[in-house]
Amino acid sequence: MPTVGENLRRIRKMRRMGQVELGELCGVTQATISNIERGLHDPHTSTLQKLASVLNVPVAAFFQEYTDPDGGGGGKPSEPEGVQITTAHIMAAKPEHDELNAALEAGHISQELYSRRVTDLYERVDAELRRAAQGEVG
């Protein structure tokens, strides 16, 4: 499974955007973008939200295999029918995501375990969104 950094690089290139431009639009340096893409830095939730917004993808795209339905030319990618990952939902995941970031930075969990847990977190958020879109109470 691709890493967050590998997915970021692929999506950025689909959007025909350089690291400098992406960094400027997100309020981070080109070095930060490069470090994320190379797996040297794990972005915090707020950075992921900015990246997703600028690249016009759901945050979940960084944690799973992502194929641009527009063929890489930009534009709004499709999301699961009736579901849109909102800032409110991402913020609901933020405390757990921040705990995972802290555990990784402290060396308590491996990069592989971190990636699996973050993927699981956003899959749960996606499932909650799907239930909400279908009118189910979670």
Asked if the structure places residue 138 within a domain, the reply is no
CB-side exposure of 115: number of CA atoms within 13 Å?
17
107 in any annotated domain? yes
User: What is the pTM assigned to this prediction?
Assistant: 0.55
In a domain, 87, yes or no: yes
CATH number at residue 41: 1.10.260.40
Q: What is the pLDDT of residues 75-105, one digit of tens each?
A: 333 333 333 455 555 666 777 877 877 787 7
Number of structural domains found in the chain: 1
Give the pLDDT confidence score for residue 89 in this predicted structure: 58
What would the mean pLDDT of 7-26 be, rounded to a whole number? 91
Question: In whole angstroms, what is the distance from residue 62 CA to residue 79 CA?
Answer: 13
Residue 82 gets the label, from left (phi > 0), alpha (psi -120 to 50) or beta, of left
Is residue 103 left, alpha or beta, with left meaning phi > 0 and alpha meaning psi from -120 to 50?
alpha
